[in-house]
Amino acid sequence: MQTISRLDTLRHAVTLLKSGGKTLALVPTMGALHEGHLTLVRTARRHADAVAVSIFVNPRQFGPNEDFDAYPRRLEADAALLAAEGVDIVWAPPPAEVYPAGFATSVSVSGLDAVLCGAARPGHFDGVATVVTKLFNQVQPDVALFGEKDWQQLTIIRRMARDLDLTSPRADAILGVPTVREADGLAMSSRNQYLTPEERAAAVALPRAIAAAVTALKGGTPAAQAMADLSAALLAGGFSRVDYAELRDATTLDLLDAPGAAPARVLVAAHIGKARLIDNAPVI
């Protein structure tokens, strides 16, 4: 496994790999790797000959009062986990290698970025879209994998990749991988480590409330009622604030009153202790 921090070295490694006829999968991450990331890596190995993992805590996707400085960074431990998974390339650039002095470009995916987390975190998805565009251009993957926990991010990246012809025409070019959960159902997230033991125990209210809402929606409860009940369950269960709890079309992210024929998802973001947790589930 090569751990690379300079773009010219990365380009050389990718060229070598591809000239040998290998296909390449990219798993973009911000590090602090957990079982969810390792599942992305294992899935990647089934879709390409070689796997590259990027580790970059992207300053452009954090707001001024968010956790950029506190975000866990542990490159050595992450690299050891990835070596054990047989990863070929770890791309871990310093910020100046990604955003050289005078960097002035931003990628926006209008509309999809205005709702859900985009409404609560202005500019967040511009930062994500910009860095993912750069990662695609740098690594030139045949396939890139993203967790379904960040459903809005996955939807935005799919739209961006299609709009900008960023990836190969393979059907699996942008692959969403189902959320990996702890034994009690809490979605794995690098931000779970901000929780105290009490908050961690209470956080299970999130997947439980989502599951109850999905059952209610399937039973004919209108979305407004199901989402109000979901928010009430979170606040009663120890969450301090609910940013959103909504039923939306899984592809267009249009708000729905009830599930219809097209795939729909319940999406939630809520605060507990120092953590803002997100999760979602399909309704049909």
Binding residues for ligand PAF, per CB under 6 A? Answer: 28-30, 58, 61, 128, 131-132, 150, 153
CB of 229 to ligand PAF, least distance (A): 29
Cβ neighbours of residue 121 under 8 Å, at least 6 residues apart? 63, 66
Residue closer to ligand PAF (CB basis): 149 or 214: 149
Number of Cβ within 10 Å of residue 245's Cβ equals: 23
Residue closer to ligand PAF (CB basis): 128 or 270: 128
CA 108 to chain centre: 17
The CA distance from 185 to 183, in Å, is: 6
Residue closer to ligand PAF (CB basis): 188 or 235: 188
Q: Show the beta-strand stretches assigned E in the chain.
A: 2-4, 24-29, 50-55, 89-91, 143-147, 174-177, 241-249, 264-272, 275-282
CB of 108 to ligand PAF, least distance (A): 15
CB of 28 to ligand PAF, least distance (A): 4
Q: Please provide the size of the chain in residues.
A: 284
CA angle centred on 213, ends 145 and 276, rounded to 5°: 55
Helix (H) or strand (E) holding 151: helix 151-163
The CA distance from 130 to 127, in Å, is: 5
CB of 259 to ligand PAF, least distance (A): 27
CB of 5 to ligand PAF, least distance (A): 16
DSSP 75-113: HHHHHHHHHHTT-SEEE---HHHHS-TT-------TTTT
- Helices 151-163 & 124-139, crossing angle to 10 degrees? 60
Residue closer to ligand PAF (CB basis): 130 or 231: 130
Residue closer to ligand PAF (CB basis): 58 or 179: 58
CB of 89 to ligand PAF, least distance (A): 15
Contact 239, 271 (CB under 8 A): yes
Residue closer to ligand PAF (CB basis): 18 or 34: 34
Residue nearest to ligand PAF (CB): 28
- As annotated, the active-site residues are 37
SS3 32: coil
